[in-house]
Amino acid sequence: MLDPQLLRSNLQDVADRLVPRGFALDVARIEALEEQRKTVQIRTEALQAERNAISKSIGQAKQRGEDIAPLMANVESTGGQLSENKAALDEIQTELEAILLGIPNLPNESVPVGEHEDGSVEVRRWGTPRIFDFEIKDHAALGGKSGWVDFETAAKLSGARFSLLRGPIACLHRALAQFMINLHTSEHGYEEAYTPYMMRAPALQSTGQLPTFEEDLFKIACEGQDDLYLIPTSEVPLTNLAAGRILDAEQLPLKFVAHTPSFSSEAGASGRDTRAMLRLYQFDMVELVQIVEPSNSMGVLEDLTANAEKVLQLLGLPYRILALCTGDLPFSAVKTHDLEVWIPSQENYRKVSSCSNCGDFQARRMQARFRNPETGKPELVHTLNGSALAVGRTLVAVMENYQQADGSIRVPDVLKQYMGGMDIISCGR
């Protein structure tokens, strides 16, 4: 969340900076609540002091043998008023906190201004899309003939927007995840983690999914205990590894990678890319998270993006990088790079990764801090996350970019060791 002190001291400036995000901050309501808070807080403190003074007088009157009944009545009346004021103050604070939790992060000054995704700016491209001398098949057609990509059975089992992979395509999916994990741990310095797939609400509030995006989450009601949510990505558990901690500066950066399923109902995405494997309720993700000292977090964003790029480069998949504009920026991010991989059947680039710097936005929510060695005082860390990569979408890109005229799929060289040396996946059985 944003710094409450920033809102109190520069409310209109914050509102102006949020306009390019398409977010209208209710300045009048916040100002009214702040005035109420100040009034009630002053009154509460006065009543507390008054009650303390009366309590002291009661002790003195007892020592003198005086009648304390009037003082007791007075302290009871004051106590009642104090309780009412505390309740009113709690109510105001609760509303202010609810407003604060719904405010997105402030864009970094380097973020391009734009209302929607069309305003994002292409940063660079890598690779050249292959020119096919035969009719291109999409991944559903390539895998559907053999039954190795089966949406019909998945729909019978679970409903729409699920997939079932079998045989060498399932193996290729697993190989991609293994390749990514091994690359990030052996060459990029990340520590592998295996995390829970279900989280309590405070963890998702810490990373910004709750309360704003609750409709996009799958919730599991648990009788007699806290409800649980299926994770949208392992960003949630990995980032929360720093929650409530004061880290030594020497411990930073913390760099984690995890391969997990991800679950998203994407309630706002109805009708978009719902065919085949591009937008599913369940998909696999290899997620990178870094928890860093604040001074160079923008440089870390470039490093994290490069880590994701390396996966695509080694796979030989053409891609481009976009700097997302203000109107397309994720809720918690100050700056985001999207990586889009070339999908031949669509003759277009499609997102396969988002790499974001969240600044201290998530850290403030979860009170994740480090001790500044110069001052000795705790300060908020910065958090970054990025998919490196979305496994299912990478699978789509590999299948389509490496397809052959007979419907078979060549296995990229870097994946052969994970597939028992297999060179070709023949999809025409």
Across the chain, how many H-helices and E-strands are there? 12, 18
Residue 172 near residue 398, CB atoms below 8 Å: yes
Residue among 324, 369, 373, 377 nearest 351 (CA): 324
- 3-state DSSP assignment of residue 296: helix
- Phi and psi, residue 279, nearest 5°: -145, 100
324: CB partners within 8 A, 6+ apart: 111, 112, 117, 120, 330, 333, 335, 336, 337, 338, 354
Residue among 17, 25, 37 nearest 334 (CA): 17
**Distance between CA atoms of residues 191 and 118, nearest Å:** 36
Residues placed in the known binding site: 233-235, 287, 385, 387
- 3-state DSSP assignment of residue 33: helix
17: its two tokens: 């900076």
How far does CA 77 lie from the centroid of its chain?
A: 49
**Distance between CA atoms of residues 325 and 119, nearest Å:** 6
Residue among 143, 117, 104 nearest 272 (CA): 117
Residues placed in the known binding site for L-serine: 233-235, 287, 385, 387
- According to DSSP, the residues that pair with 165 across neighbouring strands are 149
